[in-house]
A = this chain, B = another copy of it.
Amino acid sequence: MNIYDIAKEAGVSISTVSRVLNNHPNVKKQTKENVLSVLKKSNYIPSSVAKSLVNKATKTIGVLASDIRHIHYANIAFTIEQKLSTYGYNVILCNTGNDKSKMKDYLRVLAEKQVDGVIMVGSIFSCDQTAESIQRYHSNTPVVMHNTSLRGDNIYNISSEEAYGIVLAVDYLVQEKGIKDIALVLDYDTPVVYQKHEIYREKLEEYGIPYLKKRVVRTQSGLSGGVAAIEDLTKHGVDFSAVIGCDDITSVGAMQQLEKYGRRVPGDVAVIGFNNTLFSQVSTPAMTVIDNKEEITGIMLSRAMGDVLSGQPISPQTLIYPELILRGTT
């Protein structure tokens, strides 16, 4: 059932049908009603793909994230999808893991599918391969990125100043709690994580606290990653009275392992999470966290996309500042 069938049924030409379909002016009230009535009884569904071919716009956006099973990405992806849908856009969701070749493949497919824009969520996309793929497949597509340092005249960045979260955490621990031996748990190897590490160092220096390399541990995000981080610190005999995690769930894992070693939270060790997801409210006691403002992030990402797509001016670089939320683990 297509526009021709409707035209025939209504005894008009396809142009007229198209006109009433798109609410064009210049169509006689009578014929319009006629066509409308035919339309009503014929459950006709216009083909977006045919439209897209002529309009050169698909009204769909590609969204890349490493893994939406991580509640942080699920939250952001949710907000993006909901917000974009109010703009009339749908979302093709792509879970890339941190597999560079998967990122490339998805970006290519999205280009073939002619998405109107691409949003990439997470510092994991801050890499050369991604930059290359954008250049190659999306040089004329708006690309909105989160926590990335990539540049380009079709690339727009919305970044959480995660490093500033470290500032807040260290300031609080040192000034309010008088804690100096602060362990830092990091996960991926991305520019943002590098920055967190650097600022941690600088802050310690600022307070005249010696920087101890072993107090910074690498792990994988997740419950077991948190366990492993505490294992690591303990095994190497590193002193610490506070742990700043890379992640809420990782911090929960850390708490559980600390408990196994008989170290009380917050009595013996203060624990700070990252992101302010549900996990930080589930732990006992509830966890002090660096709130990364997921909802705002999602809103800004989709708004940026919506603005570019509607031809509105938009800043190529926007920052979101995290906040420290005090709860029971510090």
Interface string of A27-68 (1 = CB under 8 A from B): 000000000000000010111111011000010100000011
Taken together as a complex, chains A and B put the C-alpha atoms of A94 and B78 apart, in Å, by: 9
In the complex, 20 of the A-B residue pairs with CB atoms within 8 angstroms, ordered by the A residue number, are A48-B109, A48-B112, A48-B113, A49-B113, A49-B114, A60-B113, A68-B68, A69-B78, A71-B71, A77-B93, A78-B95, A81-B93, A92-B93, A223-B278, A223-B281, A249-B278, A259-B284, A279-B282, A282-B282, A282-B283
B93 adjacent to A91 (CB under 8 Å): yes
A252 contacts B by Cβ under 8 Å:
yes
A256 contacts B by Cβ under 8 Å:
yes
A90 contacts B by Cβ under 8 Å:
yes
A127 contacts B by Cβ under 8 Å:
no
Partner of A111, one of B45, B58, B284: B45
A69 adjacent to B69 (CB under 8 Å): no
Complex interface: chain B residues within 8 A of A283 (CB): 282
Taken together as a complex, chains A and B put the C-alpha atoms of A69 and B47 apart, in Å, by: 31
Interface string of A223-264 (1 = CB under 8 A from B): 100000000000000000000000001001000100100000
A82 contacts B by Cβ under 8 Å:
yes
Complex interface: chain B residues within 8 A of A45 (CB): 108, 111-112, 137
Q: How many copies make up the complex?
A: 2
Chain A interface residue number, banded: 35 or more
Complex interface: chain B residues within 8 A of A77 (CB): 68, 93
Min CB distance A69 to B, Å, is 5
Q: Which residue of B lies closest to A55 (CB)?
A: B49
Known: A74-B71, A282-B282. A81 touches B53 (CB 8 A): no
A177 contacts B by Cβ under 8 Å:
no
Taken together as a complex, chains A and B put the C-alpha atoms of A222 and B148 apart, in Å, by: 33
A130 contacts B by Cβ under 8 Å:
no
B74 adjacent to A69 (CB under 8 Å): yes
Complex interface: chain B residues within 8 A of A284 (CB): 256, 259, 284
